């Protein structure tokens, strides 16, 4: 599959984006550990979340799909899963493998997990090491630090874990293992990462304490199935927010998007760069803030993105580099070495692809410097099988003269089924 995109005029539109990927994964997993049904509306039917469903089906959780955006998860309680007869395959999903490892570590059975070529390159030691310390038996390639992995779980002992990285996947894996530990598990991280696991566990009845620097979870709770409404994914909204912000005179509203403060770094950055952003119709659903995001475009200027802001926009950095290319002056991104171990090495890959459009980019060990302001020229680009790279380059195509072609865009279905249609409706310029 490929996308062809032409330079866009002003955007004046109101759109919705699919449900949040992180919250959809957690609804599957926590629903599977809860007692009774969890009805999940606006569920993201993207390939990653379907991988989570597939894995938990193999462990006996039941799922039904009453309509296109709704699933009902029937769990049998914390100890209701059973030994899977086959390998658990997470596809491309880092969230599935890492969070599920935390759950598998506490199960009285044996399991094996694997994923696609990208998953088999991504670091798992950051999760398996603390789980080994809690008493799970885990082995795999490179001393248990790469998938495929084999897990023999059991009753765990609580630990105090100081995570070296600000990663919600690591934090969540240990929180979920903590459900199966005798006593209280404590997790600290260098900067606060997204806290959807904590919020959903509290909503379903777990005893969880969230402090500014740490999270404490008590083992052995009873989780009760409840309705979950998944907010629109701000990481998906970000592509269109950047497009509207970078085209002066544009006005875009994205309806009912998740506004959890651990995820709203993109709003702060676009405001710093000169876009006007307002929030309308604020609300709260299952412990998560939501609202409509209204973005008005203008001439953007470069900015610096670093420190505790990084985990609040880690998945938006590829599209932020596109905003940076369109902005006057220099944008510096640092403290973002985590980008090298995402679905692709997003520092190297975005540098290669932006250069094709004539953008001056230097790579840093932990980020990049983008010289903005030059005019972008359409080119033939590659997705590198990374959904966020593919969509970021499509946005770049809206800002570039002539035509931009993005090859291998099938990966977009990982997080944003319907992206091409939304893009086409917005600008009348994209074709699959």
CB of 357 to ligand S3P, least distance (A): 25
> Near ligand S3P by CB under 6 A, which window of 72-80, 161-169, 291-299, 354-362?
161-169
Q: Which of the residues are catalytic?
A: 315
Contact track, ligand S3P, 351-370, x by CB under 6 A? --------------------
Which tokens sit at 115?
Answer: 């994923």
For residues 297 and 249, the answer to whether their CB atoms sit within 8 Å is: yes
- Residue 236 engages ligand S3P in binding (rule: CB under 6 A): no
Of the candidates 167, 321, 383, 409, which one interacts with ligand S3P according to CB under 6 A?
167
Close Cβ partners of 93 (under 8 Å, ≥ 6 residues apart): 25, 47, 48, 49, 51, 52, 115, 119, 414
Nearer to ligand S3P, 173 or 396 (CB): 173
As measured in angstroms, the least distance from the Cβ of 317 to ligand S3P is: 10
Comparing CA positions, the residue from 120, 125, 128, 103 lying closest to residue 32 is 103
Q: How far apart are CA 99 and CA 172, in angstroms?
A: 6
CA atoms within 13 A on the CB side of 276: 7
22 binds ligand S3P (CB under 6 A): yes
**Residue number, 42 or 95, with CB nearest to ligand S3P:** 95
- State which of positions 316-345 bind ligand S3P (CB under 6 A): 338
CA-closest candidate to residue 28, choices 311, 143, 19, 260? 19
How far apart CA 253 and CA 240 sit, in angstroms, is 9
Provide the minimum distance between the beta carbon of 63 and ligand S3P in the complex, in angstroms, as a whole number.
19
Nearer to ligand S3P, 193 or 264 (CB): 193
Burial zone of 121 (CB within 10 Å; 0-12 exposed, 13-18 middle, 19+ buried): middle
From residue 66 to residue 95, the character string flagging contacts with ligand S3P as x (rule: CB under 6 A) and all else as - is -----------------------------x
315 binds ligand S3P (CB under 6 A): yes
Could you give phi then psi for residue 40, rounded to 5 degrees? Answer: -115, 115
Task: For ligand S3P, give the closer residue by CB, 256 or 388.
Answer: 388
Binding test (CB under 6 A) with ligand S3P, winner from 27, 177, 230, 314: 314
Distance linking the first and last C-alpha atoms of the chain: 7
User: Nearer to ligand S3P by C-beta: 336 or 357?
Assistant: 336
- Measured distance CA(282)–CA(287) in Å, rounded: 13
Which of 168, 290, 370, 412 is close enough to bind ligand S3P by CB under 6 A? 168
Write phi, then psi, for 378 (nearest 5 degrees).
-55, 145
For residue 314, the minimal CB distance to ligand S3P (Å) is: 5
**Alpha-helix runs per DSSP H in 140-195:** 141-144, 168-178
CB of 123: closest distance to ligand S3P in angstroms?
9
Give the C-alpha separation, 250 to 110, whole Å.
54
Q: Compute the least distance from the CB of residue 343 to ligand S3P, in Å.
A: 8
Binding mask 25-64 for ligand S3P (x = CB under 6 A): x---------------------------------------
Listing DSSP states for 330-380 in one string gives EEEE-S-GGGGGSSS-HHHHHHHHHHHTT-EEEEETTEEEEE--SPPB--E
Q: How far is the CB of 193 from ligand S3P (least distance, A)?
A: 6
Q: Which residues bind ligand S3P (CB under 6 A)?
A: 22, 25, 95, 167-169, 172, 193-194, 314-315, 338
């Amino acid at each position: 599959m490929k996308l062809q995109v032409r330079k866009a005029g002003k955007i004046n539109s109101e759109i919705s984006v699919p449900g949040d990927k992180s919250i959809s994964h957690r609804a599957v997993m926590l629903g599977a550990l809860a007692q009774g049904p969890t009805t999940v509306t606006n569920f993201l039917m993207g390939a990653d979340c379907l991988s989570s469903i597939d894995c938990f089906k193999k462990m006996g959780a039941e799922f039904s799909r009453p309509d296109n955006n709704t699933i009902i998860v029937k769990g049998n309680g914390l100890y209701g899963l059973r030994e899977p007869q086959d390998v658990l395959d997470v596809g491309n999903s880092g969230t599935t493998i890492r969070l599920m490892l935390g759950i598998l570590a506490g199960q009285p059975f044996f399991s094996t997990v694997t994923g696609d070529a990208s998953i088999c390159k991504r670091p798992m030691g950051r999760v398996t090491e603390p789980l080994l310390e809690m008493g799970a038996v885990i082995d795999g390639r490179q001393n248990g630090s790469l998938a495929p992995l084999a897990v023999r779980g059991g009753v765990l002992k609580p630990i105090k874990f100081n995570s070296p990285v600000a990663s919600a996947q690591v934090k969540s894996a240990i929180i979920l293992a903590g459900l199966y530990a005798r006593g209280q598990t404590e997790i600290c991280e260098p900067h606060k990462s997204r806290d959807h696991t904590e919020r959903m566990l509290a909503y379903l009845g777990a005893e969880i304490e969230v402090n500014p620097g740490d999270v404490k979870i008590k083992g052995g709770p009873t989780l009760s199935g409840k309705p979950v409404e998944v907010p629109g994914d701000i990481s998906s909204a970000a592509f269109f927010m950047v497009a509207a912000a970078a085209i002066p005179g544009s006005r875009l509203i994205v309806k009912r998007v998740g506004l959890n403060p651990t995820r709203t770094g993109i709003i702060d950055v676009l405001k710093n760069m000169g876009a006007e952003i307002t929030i309308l119709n604020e609300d709260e659903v299952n412990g998560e803030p939501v609202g409509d995001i209204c973005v008005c475009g203008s001439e953007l200027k470069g900015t610096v993105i670093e420190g505790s802001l990084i985990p609040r926009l880690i998945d938006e950095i590829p599209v932020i580099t596109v905003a940076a290319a369109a902005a006057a002056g220099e944008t510096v991104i640092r403290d973002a070495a985590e980008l090298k171990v995402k679905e692709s090495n997003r520092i190297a890959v975005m540098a290669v692809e932006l250069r094709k459009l004539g953008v001056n980019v230097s790579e840093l060990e932990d980020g990049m410097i983008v010289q903005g302001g030059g005019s972008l020229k359409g080119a033939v680009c590659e997705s590198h099988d990374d959904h966020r790279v593919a969509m970021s380059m499509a946005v770049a195509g809206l800002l570039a003269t002539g035509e931009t072609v993005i090859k291998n865009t099938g990966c977009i279905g990982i997080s944003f089924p319907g992206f091409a249609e939304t893009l086409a409706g917005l600008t009348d310029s994209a074709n699959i």
